[in-house]
Structure 1
Amino acid sequence: MTTTPIDAVRHPDPYPYYADLVADRPFAYDGSLNAWVAADATAVRAVLAAPQLRVRPAGEPVPTGVTGTAAGEVFGDLVRMTDGSLQQRLKALVVRALGRADTARAAALAAAHTREVLAAGGGVPYQELMFGVPARTVAGLLGLTDGADAEAARLVGDFVQCIPAGASEEQYKAAALAAARLQDLLRPGLDGSRETLLAELVRAARQDSWPDTAPLLANAVGFLSQTYDATAGLIGNTLVALARGAARPGTPRALDALVREVVRHDAPIQNTRRFAAGAFHHGGATVEPGGQVLVVLAAANRDPAVNPDPHALLPGRVNPAVFTFGAAAHRCPGEDLAAALAGAVVTELLAAGWDPAGLPATPGYRPLANARIPQL
């Protein structure tokens, strides 16, 4: 298969290509991408831990298309899109808040929303189950109810369009409007008076004497945006795994094990990027300041040096090395929440009599650069 790591994301089976990268080009320059590519576990760990490699280009901390808009303000305060000491302090607050999130309640909400969607009848509404249900559930955890949760789920779909490189002017405008409305919906929750995920973030900020509420609102939007593509991919790829013959889980524990192995085996987020603010050295190669690195998380997940028999789907692996949620300062703290949401949706589908044989074993994939989301 002749391709690039970007094209591979939507290939029916990118994993032989990734295996070649791991074996032959674990850290190498790709002229077609004008970027270095980190593929094996050693290179991926080194890149993600390097302080001189940043999540945004030094000259463009916020995408130009949303600079000066509500979307740009939100983007500039997201812990996943910023670096430095303030980012680390705010990231600690986000981690603390998510650590207190009630995953059992999240699963119950997602299950209820799934049953509601399925009760409408007709064909299985995969898009709503993959995107709408998780986003609506997180909106509910943030304190949005009585229709505001469904509105937020729709809005976040517009907001995330400003994140990929190459977004259109129309998408930037939609993202700006969505960001402003999402902040309006969430702002009342900043009083911290309710038992919500946003209130947990507010309380963590107060305990740390964090002075500014704008980053709290921004990262509440971030909870929604990080849920959107990643959880959709996790749900979809779990359904595809069942369609390809994965054993149907008979217990909640078995389903959780399947979902968590899908996170590694067919990662919903396949790659991410880093930008060199200073020289980075690895394996005899040097990334000069201004250079960029494509970090192929999905390839590192299947590196045999860290995961024996890496191409087998083996739910219940002992201490697997999983890079899907990143590592080091920018590791996403939402893994347990994502697994709970995906598990709830898949559980309700199976309980409703969904037959995996009705799905193609080799579906098409959305034309995205880093998220692997099947078109079902």
Structure 2
Amino acid sequence: MNAVLTSDHCRVRPLTEPIPKTLLGSSVADIFRYLVRMNDSNGHCPFKQAVSTILKSIDATQIADQSHKWAQVLIDEVGQKAASSYCSDFSFHLPVYVIASLLGVPHDTLHQIALWMSDFVPCLAPSSSPEQVKRGKEAADHLRDLFHSLLSSQQVGRSAGLLATLAEEAKQVGCEETEVIVANGIGFLSQAYEATAGLIGNTIVALASHRTVREQVRADPSLFRSVIKEVLRYDPPIQNTRRFLAQDGRVANQEMKEGDVVLVVLAAANRDPLANPNPEQFDIFRKDRHIFTFGAGPHICPGETLATMIASAGVEQLTASGVDLEQLARTVIYRSSVNARIALLATKEDA
């Protein structure tokens, strides 16, 4: 796995299609072209470091406070019964609320942002339908307008919002293009949207399936973080990624040709017994746990702390609210995706 993800021969996008053809000529393409996680050009390397620096600099206490606050708000909005019925909406909305708040988005705009994100993210998938692409393009227009306005207001008002902080960090590495800042601000949301929702849903399934673990975390809520870590290994929300050969060469001891595609199954690496002994055992007290879910190399995901803390707070708040986790898990289905495993949860009457 590491040999592929760290190889100089591999790229995150095909050389012949840096932007998906279905997105060209739209605001989605304008966002996609500047996302550091989808770009290998040398000009973006310093900015990639700026993005990683910003994410790592967020105070852990602030993340935890925001996560618990918005988890409770989302539960209170619909009440306990509806919280069960719409647990999947909760899973997708929570990361948007938390990260958008950190970015400085006004609280009265958070729900609308979550709805736009629910249209924007699906249109990025290779399997997206024409209708999904259409809705995604419309959502992208709204998101770009909002983030341009947000960035301007933060810079004028010297706000400490994360978006303005990203702009300041970008200046330090010689990047002052507004479109780049805006695109990657939106990218913070889109990258966390499905992955964190999957982590919340998959954790609920794990707790429902392991009675002893469920009893342990109810007795000691501090163990929720350990549960999340083991879910990231045992049943990760992101299962695979791809790399595209930019030139002929040898990768992982295999001769490869320009244009070849490598499927990297991160979930399989997590179950490698050489990395994690007894990999089929769900063990929240596992020692020296190795998690490959966030990748490696230049495109390693820097959002592990954010995802872990948001998911931990979300599952803890749901559990404390009295939601029947076992009932949710009985009706679980999984969102259709080429690379993600996202549990969609509902009560019996909604199934």
TM-score normalised by structure 2 residue count: 0.90
Correspondence 1:247 to 2:213: yes
Distance 1:303 1:63 in 2: 33
Q: Give the letter aligned to residue 313 of structure 1.
A: F
Q: Give the letter aligned to residue 208 of structure 1.
A: V
Correspondence 1:80 to 2:37: yes
Q: 1:146 to 1:292 in 2, by over 3 A?
A: same
- How far 1:322 sits from its partner (Å)? 1.2
Select the residue among 190, 194, 198 that pairs with 2:159.
194
- How far 1:118 sits from its partner (Å)? 2.2
Match for residue 69 of structure 1? 26
The answer to whether the 8 Å contact 2:88/2:201 transfers is: no
The answer to whether the 8 Å contact 1:148/1:185 transfers is: no
- How far 1:188 sits from its partner (Å)? 3.1
- SS at 2:290's partner residue? coil
Q: Give the letter aligned to residue 165 of structure 1.
A: P
- How far 1:282 sits from its partner (Å)? 4.1
Correspondence 1:343 to 2:312: yes
Select the residue among 57, 65, 72 that pairs with 2:14.
57
The answer to whether the 8 Å contact 2:204/2:329 transfers is: no
Correspondence 1:136 to 2:136: no
Select the residue among 124, 128, 147 that pairs with 1:167.
128
RMSD after superposition:
1.7
Select the residue among 117, 120, 125 that pairs with 1:156.
117
- How far 1:357 sits from its partner (Å)? 2.4
Count of aligned residue pairs for this structure pair = 333
C-alpha offsets along residues 147-189 of structure 1, whole Å, 9 cap, x if unaligned?
2121111111111122211322222222222112112112233
- How far 1:279 sits from its partner (Å)? 2.2
Structure 1: where are the runs of 5+ without partners?
1-43
Match for residue 147 of structure 1? 108
Q: Which moved more, 1:168-177 or 1:280-289?
A: 280-289
Correspondence 1:227 to 2:192: yes
Select the residue among 284, 288, 291 that pairs with 1:319.
288
The answer to whether the 8 Å contact 2:101/2:107 transfers is: no
Distance 1:330 1:370 in 2: 16
Correspondence 1:176 to 2:137: yes
C-alpha offsets along residues 11-67 of structure 1, whole Å, 9 cap, x if unaligned?
xxxxxxxxxxxxxxxxxxxxxxxxxxxxxxxxx111101121111111110011111
Match for residue 24 of structure 1? none
Distance 1:323 1:280 in 2: 24
The answer to whether the 8 Å contact 1:244/1:361 transfers is: no
C-alpha offsets along residues 286-327 of structure 1, whole Å, 9 cap, x if unaligned?
221111011100000111111111121222433322111111
Identity level (%): 40
The answer to whether the 8 Å contact 1:98/1:197 transfers is: no
Match for residue 308 of structure 1? 277
C-alpha offsets along residues 323-371 of structure 1, whole Å, 9 cap, x if unaligned?
1111110001000000110011111111112332223368321111111
Correspondence 1:266 to 2:238: no
- How far 1:247 sits from its partner (Å)? 0.8
Match for residue 348 of structure 2? none
- How far 1:117 sits from its partner (Å)? 2.6
TM-score normalised by structure 1 residue count: 0.84
Distance 1:319 1:183 in 2: 42
Q: 1:256 to 1:84 in 2, by over 3 A?
A: same
- How far 1:226 sits from its partner (Å)? 0.7
Distance 2:25 2:146 in 1: 20
Correspondence 1:100 to 2:57: yes
